[in-house]
Amino acid sequence: MKATIWHNPRCSKSRETLAILQDAGAEIAVVEYLKTPPSAAELARLFDRAGLTAAQVLRKAEPGAKPLADADDATILAAMAADPILIERPLVETEKGVRLGRPPEAVREIL
């Protein structure tokens, strides 16, 4: 099985999620999204597959998220593409769907 993880190696949840994928024997593509940010269109596609809105995947603890509290999805997606620290992590995609690894065990649903 193939899996793509949008990963931040400094994040414990992201590392735990990556370990779950490794333990499952997945063929993993690791995208360090802070170095290689996804486009707004790619984020929209991922969130749609996950059944989530951009607001639900906004990392609200980040200072840059506060001005986006009442923003529409297009505005949030543009902000995430410009400043990827605003994206909650990790996101994992397989042929079965997309999950936000919060908690990390949630990715088991798509393995």
Catalytic residues: 11
Shortest CA distance to 88 belongs to which of 78, 79, 73, 101?
Answer: 101
For residues 3-28, one letter each, b for 16 or more C-beta atoms within 10 angstroms of the residue's C-beta and e for the rest, the string is bbbbbbeebebbeebbebbeeeebeb
Tally of residues, the chain: 111
Q: Helix or strand or coil: residue 109?
A: helix
- In the DSSP assignment, the letter for residue 37 is P
How far apart are the C-alpha atoms of 70 and 103, rounded to whole Å? 25
